[in-house]
Structure 1
Amino acid sequence: MNRHRRPIAALGGALLTAAVALSGCTSSGDDADQASSSPTAPAEPEAQPIEWTDCDADIDQIIAGRPGSERELLFECGTTTVPADYDDLDGGDLQLFLVRAAAAGQTDRIGSLVVNPGGPGVSASDAAIQAALTLPPEVLARFDVVGVDPRGVGLSTPVECITDEQKDALFASNPRALDEASLSATFEQVDEVAAACSEEYGEALGAFTTVDTARDMDLVRESLGDEQLTFLGYSYGTTLGSTYAELFPDRVRALALDGAVDPTATAQEQAEAQAAGFETAFDAFAANCTGLISGCPLGEDPRGALNALLDQSAATPVPSSREGETRQATAGLVLNGVRSALYQPSAWPQLAQSLAAARDGDAAGILTLADTFTGRSDDGSYSNVVDANLAISCADGQEQFTTEQVSALAADWNARYPLFGADAALGLYTCSAWEAPTTPLPERDAAGSAPIMVIGTQGDPVTPPQGAVDLAAELDNSSLLTWEGSGHTAYPKTDCVTQAVNAYLIDLVAPPEGVTCPA
């Protein structure tokens, strides 16, 4: 899923779219005096062993029937510990969870390929399982695929402080809250969530930062036995990867950063770029739908049909035919379903059918799409993606916005980006309500690193292509590859991109600067 920093917006989805130097003087005197008065070097954390267990049978059951499940793969699950606070190595540990996948009969192994799918908050262990099913065989022949759930995420000491009921309410909220009453209700929801998490964790919320996760990743690299890191990061994973390169430039072997988050953009600029990106993506979906030989289920004006459905569901939520479903689709859930499908063009046919069915009185399809986006299970429970997303995004030092500023932006952006603008603006309030110490992301030039590959997609609504341009420009040693396709991230969706990334990961051959791959 899906900085893609995707902090959960006030309405539940607009953005569900991170060295201490010691100095001192040595006094004169005898050896003992000098030793006692010399500055003490900061203690270095030690990489801990990974306790691996065979979880092959369990994962085989999970992946049964999925494309790629016929591959001969071996899975292991592992745990290790890292310091909770790198400034206080005696302050306790956090446990991390890993999955490692290896192709049977692997030869000429290079090492581990560590993957991160973004979010922040999306499980990297799940991503490793999926990557083992989908990555090119030539990559699996040379690398183990390793997913480490970042601190606070998935099974790595998960942050859990938002109830399922609160998440249901957030995601169902009005995405076009513009009047005073609606705005007040929206801000109150966000305040309540922030207060509950602060009460649950207090100052400890400040531990879930991208900087500390990058430090964790270096310890895991050492525990895996790799001298340098080979990393594939998507969306927010590009923020994590570039942060690692800034902290440990000499330990970079290869970083492929796909769907780059713009390191130069402010939170407001990122939110507005996403609103504009989703508007463009919806127009591309609409053009595709109306161009179908069989005709578009939404008629000749899909945007008009969606606007009518949003107005209808805001007044009277749409019931669902799904057995056991007690929810009805509000405007917020409809828009989250749309947003979910716009991540990948492969979901566009499902979106057209789901919107048409909702217009006709059955929201089952659009609720399924919305639940895919929000991480809601059939039983009404949620993963901790939302909790972790907020904790990490806000601990990374997001800018602060007043309710007056957000309200004004919501009105402005609603006029300029009529489907997604108000929701994107309202999301800016999220970290203003959050109470936690922050560790801002460093500037990232990664001076002295090996070449880093940055990938952008021309039609990416989540991380628009300017982010890849800017990240590549910030890094001292990088190459930029642009895919002229649509959807969020590019590898391994097309031969041109796949061949370029494979050559980089395996042989360390980066493409020439500015290469473009056709759609």
Structure 2
Amino acid sequence: MHTRPSLPSPRRTRGARPRATARLTAGLLTAAALLVSACSPGSSTTSAGDTAEAALAALPRSTPSALSSYYTQRLRWRSCGTPGFQCATMTAPLDYGKPGAGDVRLAVARKKATGTGRPIGSLLVNPGGPGGSAVDYLQSYAGVGYPADVRARYDMVAVDPRGVARSEPVECLDGRQMDTYTQTDMTPDDQQERNALVAADKTFDESCGAHSARLLRNVSTVEAARDMDILRAVLGDQKLNYVGASYGTFLGATYAGLFPDRVGRMVLDGAMDPSIDARTLNLDQTSGFETAFQAFAKDCVRRSDCPLGGRGTTPAQVGDHLKAFFREVDAHPIATGDADGRKLGEALATTGVIAAMYDQAEWEQLREALTSAMKEHDGAGLLALSDSYYERDASGRYSNLMMANAAVNCLDLPPAFTGPEEVERALPAFEKASPVFGDYLAWAALSCTYWPVRATGSAHRIEAKGAAPIVVVGTTRDPATPYRWAQSLSHQLSSARLLTYVGDGHTAYGRGSTCIDTAINTYLLNGTPPSIGKRCS
């Protein structure tokens, strides 16, 4: 989802982050800079003018003979080192158009059903990103935190998509280079700063091309969805049962479009809209973060510890105060106590604030971090929020979240902008969508412009005609995947049932709503989708 990741420089969309888990588990992604600069569907090659009528076509029901060896492979399960979990390596063709031209090895993990009754089958989970590790998500949350009744009836399964984490990860910059990249000024004030931003994006993109040339043409969402069908077959399941969050909804919907007759019980939580182009995705997500910030601002001014204003302060004034703070640290970065000497400038400060918009449970941490930064000139708290967003550890190492996020996003959709001149022209629209984050997120959408591999996908609808009922979940004030995306996807999918959570935060399942959890658990266990128009709060 997003993409630097948008969930990275807030440039991408990251995955679900259940309240009960640590910040890094939830699907970072998540889940790059916080936009979805290119998190959309896959294999269509229609022109931009035709995308409104284009739809993802289903693949033939019969498996091509050239793929039979992949579909009949046997996984060799071994201990993962985490009690109760097993791991294996699955093989898929690097290029589905040339199955004999090389393979990609994918990391798979599972936890067997814990109950003594009749099992339903496997339940594949994906936390989002693109770039979030599904294996980590399974071992740290889904395999132990999903409802006991669900874990009793399903083998809980995850596969890191190609290019992600343990599955031949995309590699680009090293830790120190990433530190430099994430501190790049994302709101250039003059030509020199604009040139520096363009140079940073080019360096990142060219580095990915230099270090991961073998993978970059074959890490699309369509290919990852086809990998999931191989996994379904080798696990012995006739249908794919699946729970995907954030970008994981696009991955799941793509699977449904390609293999509608093989859809089992599918939940798409925090849904993306595959029918819109990259610029629209970025603009919509910019509006989503503004909506989330408005909710934060209203809550903040009611509290005595709000550093952005007290009672009587309007949300617009709160936004003005935050923008003034961003300008201050842009001109004069503040100390953080970081062992590597990093200071808190505007880029890291903005990423830290955006990261907290994903979950209202983090608003308290954000208030504390802003108080320290604004009143004590201590940027450690906001730096910690930014680091968790980028998946940077204390030793200065980054996961490959941002690298994989860019690789998938930039292959799935043509770039939002062809160059900085287009960004300049689009700034008024982005700043209208979000007076607080608009300029930052507009420039973040430049990240795919210089990608070394041409996009193979384009925006299109996904209908999945003939699929079993699919539950699409949308949160009304979701910052990263706006509610209208869930509405749009539910209208596209021929068998979709929309489940609405009236509230804040990114995604809804497992985040404290008994109404949402009961509806989804009932569907997973009994196959009964929520009633038409069901809303929870």
Q: Tell me if TM exceeds 0.5.
A: yes
Q: Deviations over 1:325-347 (max 9, x none)?
A: 52111111011111111100000
What aligned pairs does 1:60-79 form with structure 2 within 5 A after superposition? 74-79=84-89
Counterpart of 2:329 in structure 1 is 313
Q: Deviations over 1:249-296 (max 9, x none)?
A: 11111110000011222211111111111112112112112223x442
- 2:451 is aligned with 1:434: yes
- 2:491 is aligned with 1:491: no
- 2:222 is aligned with 1:192: no
Residue in structure 1 matching 2:367, options 340, 352, 366: 352
Aligned-pair CA distance for 1:203: 6.3
Q: What one-letter code is carried by the residue in structure 1 that aligns with 2:377?
A: G
Aligned-pair CA distance for 1:77: 1.6
Aligned-pair CA distance for 1:97: 0.6
Q: Contact (CA 8 Å) 1:77, 1:100: kept in 2 or not? A: yes
Alpha-carbon separation, structure 2, partners of 1:284 and 1:298: 14
Larger radius of gyration: 1
Counterpart of 1:33 in structure 2 is none
Counterpart of 2:6 in structure 1 is 6
- 2:357 is aligned with 1:342: yes
Cα 1:424–1:309 shift into 2, 3 Å: same
Name whichever of 160-169 and 203-212 sits farther off: 160-169
Aligned-pair CA distance for 1:417: 1.9
Aligned-pair CA distance for 1:9: 4.8
Counterpart of 1:508 in structure 2 is 527
Residue in structure 2 matching 1:140, options 151, 155, 173: 151
Counterpart of 1:268 in structure 2 is 279
Cα 1:366–1:399 shift into 2, 3 Å: closer
Q: How many residues align?
A: 481
Q: What one-letter code is carried by the residue in structure 2 that aligns with 1:172?
A: Q
Q: What one-letter code is carried by the residue in structure 1 that aligns with 2:383?
A: L
Name whichever of 202-211 and 443-452 sits farther off: 202-211
- 2:478 is aligned with 1:455: no
Post-superposition, which runs of at least 4 consecutive aligned residues in structure 1 deviate over 6 A? 1-5
Residue in structure 1 matching 2:117, options 84, 103, 107: 107
- 2:149 is aligned with 1:124: no
Residue in structure 1 matching 2:435, options 418, 438, 443: 418
Q: Contact (CA 8 Å) 1:14, 1:420: kept in 2 or not? A: no
Q: Deviations over 1:55-81 (max 9, x none)?
A: 2xx335xxxxxxxxxxxxx21122111
Alpha-carbon separation, structure 1, partners of 2:476 and 2:36: 21
Q: Deviations over 1:426-476 (max 9, x none)?
A: 122222211214331563100111111100000100000000000011111
Alpha-carbon separation, structure 2, partners of 1:89 and 1:49: 18
Alpha-carbon separation, structure 2, partners of 1:512 and 1:210: 30
Q: Contact (CA 8 Å) 2:125, 2:243: kept in 1 or not? A: yes
Cα 1:169–1:325 shift into 2, 3 Å: closer
Residue in structure 2 matching 1:472, options 482, 490, 510: 490
Alpha-carbon separation, structure 1, partners of 2:100 and 2:113: 39
Q: What one-letter code is carried by the residue in structure 1 that aligns with 2:402?
A: V
Q: Contact (CA 8 Å) 1:310, 1:331: kept in 2 or not? A: yes
Q: Contact (CA 8 Å) 1:245, 1:446: kept in 2 or not? A: yes
Alpha-carbon separation, structure 1, partners of 2:2 and 2:123: 19
Residue in structure 2 matching 1:332, options 342, 347, 372: 347
Alpha-carbon separation, structure 1, partners of 2:432 and 2:263: 45
Residue in structure 1 matching 2:228, options 204, 217, 224: 217
Aligned-pair CA distance for 1:492: 1.9
Q: Contact (CA 8 Å) 1:112, 1:143: kept in 2 or not? A: yes
Q: What one-letter code is carried by the residue in structure 1 that aligns with 2:179?
A: D
Aligned-pair CA distance for 1:3: 8.7
Q: Where does the alignment leave 5 or more consecutive residues of structure 1 unmatched? A: 21-40, 61-73
- 2:74 is aligned with 1:44: no
Alpha-carbon separation, structure 2, partners of 1:185 and 1:482: 43
Q: Contact (CA 8 Å) 1:210, 1:396: kept in 2 or not? A: yes
Counterpart of 2:297 in structure 1 is 286
Cα 1:416–1:146 shift into 2, 3 Å: closer
Task: Tell which has more relative contact order, 1 or 2 (C-alpha 8 A, sep 6+).
Answer: 2
Aligned-pair CA distance for 1:111: 1.1
Aligned-pair CA distance for 1:86: 0.8
Q: Contact (CA 8 Å) 2:3, 2:9: kept in 1 or not? A: no
Cα 1:158–1:344 shift into 2, 3 Å: same
Residue in structure 1 matching 2:422, options 398, 405, 427: 405
TM superposition score normalised by structure 1: 0.88
Q: Contact (CA 8 Å) 1:114, 1:147: kept in 2 or not? A: yes
Q: Contact (CA 8 Å) 2:135, 2:158: kept in 1 or not? A: yes
Q: What one-letter code is carried by the residue in structure 2 that aligns with 1:267?
A: A
In structure 2, the residue corresponding to 1:141 is in which secondary structure? helix
Q: Contact (CA 8 Å) 2:187, 2:443: kept in 1 or not? A: no
Alpha-carbon separation, structure 2, partners of 1:19 and 1:342: 28
Alpha-carbon separation, structure 2, partners of 1:326 and 1:16: 30
- 2:459 is aligned with 1:446: no
RMSD: 2.3
Q: Deviations over 1:5-60 (max 9, x none)?
A: 8364597724277399xxxxxxxxxxxxxxxxxxxx762342222221112xx335
In structure 2, the residue corresponding to 1:429 is in which secondary structure? coil
Alpha-carbon separation, structure 1, partners of 2:482 and 2:4: 10
Alpha-carbon separation, structure 2, partners of 1:209 and 1:16: 15
Cα 1:51–1:421 shift into 2, 3 Å: same
Counterpart of 2:82 in structure 1 is 59
Counterpart of 2:166 in structure 1 is 155
Name whichever of 295-304 and 109-118 sits farther off: 295-304
Name whichever of 337-346 and 105-114 sits farther off: 105-114
In structure 2, the residue corresponding to 1:313 is in which secondary structure? helix
Alpha-carbon separation, structure 2, partners of 1:497 and 1:112: 22
- 2:193 is aligned with 1:173: no
Q: Deviations over 1:353-395 (max 9, x none)?
A: 0011011211111111111111111111100001100111111
Aligned-pair CA distance for 1:161: 1.7
Q: Contact (CA 8 Å) 1:4, 1:119: kept in 2 or not? A: no
Alpha-carbon separation, structure 2, partners of 1:249 and 1:476: 10
Alpha-carbon separation, structure 2, partners of 1:465 and 1:192: 35
Counterpart of 2:35 in structure 1 is 15
What aligned pairs does 1:342-381 form with structure 2 within 5 A after superposition? 342-359=357-374, 360-381=376-397
Q: Contact (CA 8 Å) 1:238, 1:260: kept in 2 or not? A: yes
Q: Where does the alignment leave 5 or more consecutive residues of structure 2 unmatched? A: 12-31, 44-63
